[in-house]
Each structure stands twice: as structure tokens, then as C-alpha cells.
């Protein structure tokens, strides 16, 4: 049976460090942004989060666990941002909150975006790839993002493929629209190093540590 073409974004399925699912954290959405469950999001200089775009080399924060809606409610998230009021999914008004999975050790299932430039096969395992940004549903609030395997890694791209997503029913196999398990590429998360110098009794030491 052929794989179904129904991208759903990045679905949290586990952790590389323990048997518990990572917990989502509250943030404030950039005004007028539409973010769906499963969308990758980025940090902004305004202290808010926006949906990611393809081609980014730094700045991912994580994966949206909730979706934006067109109205704010009276209740608030732990960070003080307004909770959505319910109703239509879509562009967030000012001050709306969103929950985001930020654990860099999280594991996600994601459908491969297939084009004439690439078809999912065993050879993509351990490869690193970019995100394909699809338009999410304003009815369900579900993402339509996928993994862009056509954009083969020549630099530091955000996602590393680990294995084919196991489906005991046999509905997922290598080929067009295959679903795979991915993690954030360690080189993408920790590759941006900030250098500092420390001077002590043993002389000047050069230290590199992950930047933000």
C-alpha cells in the first residue's frame, strides 16, 4: 500500500535521554503570526516566537505544542501571555501565548516532502535536511510542515534523520511520503560557538561554549 500524502508537521514521540516525553514551555507569539501544532518556531529579537522559514541556519527554538487563534481569552499562561479564547485558528492578536517543546533531545515523527529531486530511501538515514513549510489548517490547527529531503545537506541544516517511523500495520514504508523519526541536528543546535578568554595562574585559556 502506498504511503498517504498527509503532512502533519513535527509530532513529538519521545526523548533521547529518558522514557518521559518532554514538557512544553510557554512563550508569547509575535503579533499576527499563524502557528499550528507541529510547526517549528524561532526566537525573535522582540522576545516573541514566530514560525520558522526554510533556509535558516540558526535560531530554532523548538516545535509548537499548541496553535494560535484569532482571539485572546481572559486567562493567562504561566509567562503572563493570554491564552487563546477558542474558535477559529489563525493569526494571533497581540499578547497571545503558545506552548513550545524546546528540549533539543526530543524525537519527532515527520513526513518527508517528496519532489523530483528526492525520494525517501534508507540512504537518507543520518543525513541532515531542511524543513518544508506548508500552510497549516485553520480548521484543526494542525501543521502541514514536512521534511525537505530535496534539500540535501551541504551545510548545517536543522534536522537529522534517524530511522523510518515504525508502523506495525505496514502502512509506512520507504518511498514517496514516508514518515521518519528525526532529531535536531547536534551541529545545528550546538554549532554556533561563542569564544571567551580566561586568564589565570596557568596563562590565558581559550574557551568555546554554545551560543544562544
Share of the chain above pLDDT 70, in %: 82
Q: Is the pLDDT of residue 198 over 50?
A: no
Q: What is the CB neighbour count within 10 angstroms for residue 173?
A: 15
Q: Cβ distance 64 to 35 under 8 Å?
A: yes
Q: Cβ distance 83 to 75 under 8 Å?
A: yes
Choose among 103, 104, 125: nearest CA to 184.
104
The three cell numbers locating residue 212: 544562544
**What's the angle, vertex CA 95, arms to CA 21 and CA 77, rounded to 5?**
40
Confidence of residue 195 (pLDDT cuts 50, 70, 90): very low
What does the alpha-carbon distance between residue 178 and residue 176 come to, in Å, rounded to a whole number?
6
- pLDDT by residue (tens digit) across 35-93? 999 999 999 999 999 999 888 766 789 999 999 999 999 999 999 999 998 779 999 99
Share of the chain above pLDDT 90, in %: 63
Q: Is the pLDDT of residue 186 over 90?
A: no
- pLDDT by residue (tens digit) across 95-121? 999 999 999 999 999 999 876 557 899
- Cα R_g (the chain), whole angstroms: 19
Amino acid at each position: 500500500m502506498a504511503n498517504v500524502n498527509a503532512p502533519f508537521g513535527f509530532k513529538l514521540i519521545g526523548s533521547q535521554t529518558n522514557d518521559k516525553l518532554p514538557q512544553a514551555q510557554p512563550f508569547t507569539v509575535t503579533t499576527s503570526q499563524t502557528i499550528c501544532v507541529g510547526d517549528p518556531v524561532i526566537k525573535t529579537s522582540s522576545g516573541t516566537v514566530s514560525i520558522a522559514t526554510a533556509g535558516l541556519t540558526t535560531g530554532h527554538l523548538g516545535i509548537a505544542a499548541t496553535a494560535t487563534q484569532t482571539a485572546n481569552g481572559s486567562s493567562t499562561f504561566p509567562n503572563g501571555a493570554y491564552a487563546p479564547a477558542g474558535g477559529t485558528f489563525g493569526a494571533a492578536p497581540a499578547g497571545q501565548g503558545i506552548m513550545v517543546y524546546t528540549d533539543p533531545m526530543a524525537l519527532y515523527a515527520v513526513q518527508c516532502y517528496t519532489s523530483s529531486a528526492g525520494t525517501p530511501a534508507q540512504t537518507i538515514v543520518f543525513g541532515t535536511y531542511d524543513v518544508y513549510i506548508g500552510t497549516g489548517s485553520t480548521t484543526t490547527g494542525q501543521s502541514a510542515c514536512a521534511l525537505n529531503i530535496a534539500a540535501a545537506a551541504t551545510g548545517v541544516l536543522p534536522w537529522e534523520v534517524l530511522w523510518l517511523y515504525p508502523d506495525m500495520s505496514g502502512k509506512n514504508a520507504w518511498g514517496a511520503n514516508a514518515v521518519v523519526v528525526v532529531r535536531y541536528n547536534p551541529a545545528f543546535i550546538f554549532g554556533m560557538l561563542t569564544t571567551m578568554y580566561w586568564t589565570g595562574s596557568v596563562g590565558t585559556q581559550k574557551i568555546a561554549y554554545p551560543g544562544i
